[in-house]
Structure 1
Amino acid sequence: MGEFDLITRYFQRPAKRSPLGVGDDCALLAPAPGMQLAVSCDMLVEGRHFLSTVDPARLGHKALAVNLSDLAACGAKPLAFTLALAMPGVDESWLEGFSRGLFALADEHGCELVGGDTTRGPLNICITVFGEVPAGAALLRSGAHAGDDIWVSGTLGDARLALEAFRGTLELPADVFAQARMRMEQPAPRVALGQALRGTASSAVDVSDGLVGDLGHILASSKVGATLDADAATGVIAAAASCGLGTEILRTCALSGGDDYELVFTAPPAARAAVEQAGKESATRVTRIGRIDAEAGLRIVDASGAPISQRFGSFDHFV
């Protein structure tokens, strides 16, 4: 099967938002009146971002999900995306599964494939996603103020927990591992929550490289500090605590583990009811995990407010 036959069979679909669809030299997109385009690009590399054993349908889902998560962090509505795909060769079974998972999530969010490229090479997936947001209403990293609450969607640390199980550094019961693996391989982008938080949240970022590192982007952009409860936002990882895992590894997963694709955001205390309502409207758990401080730096405490001496980092591709 040649390149263009491959595109036609697995990726050619009618597109409404670009009059050209897939198959021309460019896609043509225009935001609605009064809207701004929100654009983001993410790359997934085999062995770096995903394991070779991952189900291709889950990989197709994740490839788009990590980009939709960026739109969610800006409060943007998904419109369209492009796909650049490098593969060692044509594996029709893999392509069927990958495209099925990709388009299932795309259809769920009304996001159309409007172009891209394919080539031979090590497995590498690069997606650029386009969304729209009312002009001036995008959620940014730079709006946090001293006194704001810090919130997070969903739960944290589950994907890192699964990765450690894959690495053999810890053992999990089959049911806990299955839940954690699902969170690692098929994350849920919080698109509806991001849109519901417009006008309420003062800043936001998606958690892709670990809570400590990604919250740090908000602190740096907003020129503020924070106090963070280390144990406030746990999910599958909480079930793992009953398996005899130590507090330090569980906290490391929750605060330093990447691949969560949740939203961490800030909002004034007066907006607590509005944040909780946004969570209900989007059917997303939201948890208050700390506060923004005027004093620079990040202070991490336990549930009683006592400082934690353990150090936490975040994922970096070149460290």
Structure 2
Amino acid sequence: MNEFDLIAKYFTRPNRALKNADLGVGDDAALMTVSAGHQLAVSADMLVAGRHFFADADPERLGHKCLAVNLSDLAAMGAKPTWFTLSLALPSIDEAWLAAFSRGLFALADQHEIELVGGDTTRGPLTIAIQIAGEVPTGQAMLRSHAQIDDDIWVSGPLGGAAAAVMHRTGRAQLPAEIAQQCDLRLDLPQPRLVFGQAIAPFANAALDISDGLAGDLRHICQRSQCAVQIWIASVPSAAQLLHLPHELQLEAKLAGGDDYELCFTAPQSARTNIEALAQEHGLAAQRIGVIIPHGDSQPLVQFLDTTGQSMQFGFGGFDHFKN
């Protein structure tokens, strides 16, 4: 099997009518039209074996995850996904691996009616690169730079489950088998909050998805919006499985653990009723966890407060690809 056989067998769907593109896989470039009154939202992510996922990861789950993390970026913008490209570096052609990987990839793509329109393949260390695009009504995207002083800070669901899975797999913690399997689902099969992201966009100001941990990701909003945040530690929702970890690791998992892909967003206090109703409508346990405040010269961007209102200092931060 050569490169073109691989693409034809596993990543071409010749009998499928394109819904979101004018021309897909097979030419030198894809063609698509953006709907009137909309902007094109584009994002890209690269996943490297041993860095972003365990080298022995189940390929079907990996196919799901590599697309899910890109869909999550569009969810954070309030965008509706339309198409994506896929580039693969493979150590060798393993047909069983490719069949499972493409099965997981296309199952999620079909769920969200998104088209694979092109990409590339080559030989090399296992690396998966996806570029994704979607549409958002002009001027309505949620931006990291739009947080306002006194905004509420929300998360769309419990945090720390994926981090607990990593702690277990790397030997930092020991979880009961059933609990470890539940955490594995959070790590391997994240659920992008696309519909919820589109629903809250008219009410929210700033947003991002939690990929590198709450503590680290919140700094991006602070830096872009020139503000600081106060987070009430007791209000940050924890994955139920964290109760099986020591207290210190519970805090680290929910405040600094990555791979949750829940949305973190800010909204004016007047939007509380709307957001609570939307969360209930979408079956999400969204929680208000803090507030946007002015940034003073001597204060940290992200302040974690205990139940008495005292600031707590931690030695952990978000994930950094060149430090961690």
What is the TM-score of this pair, normalised by structure 2?
0.94
The match for 1:4 is: 4
| CA shift for structure 1 position 304 | 4.0
User: Is the aligned partner of 1:302 residue 2:306?
Assistant: yes
Cα distance in 2, alignment partners of residues 84 and 231 from structure 1 = 42
User: Is the aligned partner of 1:312 residue 2:309?
Assistant: no
The match for 1:260 is: 260
The match for 1:78 is: 81
The match for 2:286 is: 286
* Residues 183 and 241, structure 2, Cα contact 8 Å, conserved in 1: no
- Match of 2:146, SS state, is coil
The match for 2:273 is: 273
Instruction: Give 1:318's aligned amino acid.
Output: F
Question: For 1:19-77, what per-residue CA distance to the aligned partner results, in whole angstroms no more than 9, with x for missing partners?
Answer: 32111110111110001000000000000000122111100000000100000000000
User: Is the aligned partner of 1:53 residue 2:32?
Assistant: no
| CA shift for structure 1 position 283 | 2.5
Question: For 1:259-295, what per-residue CA distance to the aligned partner results, in whole angstroms no more than 9, with x for missing partners?
Answer: 1111100011111011112213333221111111123
Cα distance in 2, alignment partners of residues 8 and 20 from structure 1 = 16
Question: For 1:101-154, what per-residue CA distance to the aligned partner results, in whole angstroms no more than 9, with x for missing partners?
Answer: 000100111111000011111100000001000000001001111111100011
The match for 1:175 is: 178
| CA shift for structure 1 position 312 | 3.0
What percent of counterpart residues are identical? 52
Cα distance in 2, alignment partners of residues 135 and 200 from structure 1 = 15
| CA shift for structure 1 position 196 | 0.3
The match for 1:155 is: 158
Shifted more, 252-261 versus 295-304: the winner is 295-304
Correspondence list, 1:1-319, <5 A = 1-13=1-13, 14=16, 15-236=18-239, 238-241=240-243, 243=244, 245-296=245-296, 297-319=301-323
Cα distance in 2, alignment partners of residues 180 and 239 from structure 1 = 7
What is the TM-score of this pair, normalised by structure 1?
0.96
- Match of 1:142, SS state, is helix
Cα distance in 2, alignment partners of residues 97 and 160 from structure 1 = 25
Aligned residues: 316
Cα distance in 1, alignment partners of residues 64 and 225 from structure 2 = 33
